[in-house]
Structure 1
Amino acid sequence: MAITRHASAHWEGDLKTGQGKLDTPQSGLMTGTRYGFNSRFGDEKGTNPEELIAAAHAACFTMALSAKLSEAGHPPQALDTKAAVELSMEGGPTISQIRLTTTARVDGLDATKFRAIADDAKQNCPVSKALSAVPISLDAQLLT
């Protein structure tokens, strides 16, 4: 059984002066969310594809890590993950790397075992798999 999620994008105008809006009709969380050249390549308010990829990757990895820790008998007390998606402009815009940084509060687990589980989650979360053409690094810290 497959699960399908939906989002839509609308754009008007040329690349640099045009504007777009994003919608996520199933959840309704994004309705007419602005995006454009200046929110992607500058400081204008609005979202951009790289920010959305970062959010998706942080969420997916964190859920995968929670599942793997729980499967290993160590359900986490808390997990916090940041994803940084780097857009290189050399040779044209390219996503050149993704850096995941996570901290975890987990009882009864040493740092070595935690790192192995975190690496497995990074390799096997669906978003990591989808983005496998991009180098993905992980800084995983077990908090005491």
Structure 2
Amino acid sequence: MKRNATAVWNGTGKEGTGHLTTQSTTLDKTQYSFLSRFAEGVGTNPEELVAAAHAGCFTMKLTFVLNEAGFTPDELTTRCDITLDNGAITLSELNVTGKIPGITAEKFQECAENAKENCPISKLYNCEKKLTAALA
């Protein structure tokens, strides 16, 4: 399976603007800028998107882990906080709460740890990076 997204940027890093479009067009020329990334401007930013990806991936993986252990959650809610420090993402912090009939706190913790280690976005943080660069 392959998925894609496209970023377009015009202008300088600080005064310019850009937009993001995903293959599904859920994001369709969604604005991002210096202000939306480093201040309180309108639009999204890469760190917010990474946080959404990690929260969504982890939560879905946790559901599968719970199902394999014989549990079906009524609800899982995950918040992911991404820390950007000195030009690098230094932390992805997941905070999950669940309503799961019949599960113990210990079993929930075990399942959550499994999902944290094994969801594809968690694994992404250690992946190979490839690049192709060309001038138009």
Structure 2 residues not aligned, in runs of 5+: 128-136
The letter for the 1-side match of 2:47 is E
Q: Gapped runs of 5+ residues in structure 1? A: 134-144
Aligned residues: 127
Query: Aligned equivalents of 2:105 and 2:28: distance in 1?
Result: 42
5 Å-filtered alignment, 1:29-40, equals 29-40=26-37
Aligned to 1:18: 16
RMSD between aligned residues: 1.1
Runs of 4+ displaced beyond 6 Å: none
Q: What residue in structure 2 maps to residue 61 of structure 1?
A: 58
Cα offset for 1:28?
A: 1.5
Displacement of 1:132 in angstroms is 4.3
Determine whether 1:83 maps to 2:107.
no
Among 113, 122, 127, which residue is 2:116 paired with?
122
Amino acid at match of 1:122: K
Query: Within 2, Cα distance between the matches of 1:131 and 1:80?
Result: 22
Aligned-pair CA distance for 1:117: 0.6
Q: Distance in 2 between matches of 1:45 and 1:123?
A: 33
Measure, in 2, the Cα distance between the counterparts of 1:132 and 1:74: 30
TM-score of the pair, normalised by structure 1? 0.85
Report the Cα distance in structure 2 between the residues aligned to 1:69 and 1:48, rounded to whole angstroms.
Answer: 32
Displacement after TM superposition at 1:36 (Å): 1.1
1:1-16 map, 5 Å:
3-16=1-14
Residue in 2 aligned with 1:96? 90
Aligned to 1:38, the other structure's residue is in SS state: helix
**100, 104, 109: which one aligns with 2:103:** 109
Distance 1:102 1:79 in 2: 7
CA drift of 1:107 comes to 1.0
**Whole-Å separation in 1 of the counterparts to 2:58 and 2:115:** 6
Residue 131 of structure 2: aligned partner: none
Distance 2:119 2:28 in 1: 27
- In structure 2, the residue matched to 1:137 is none
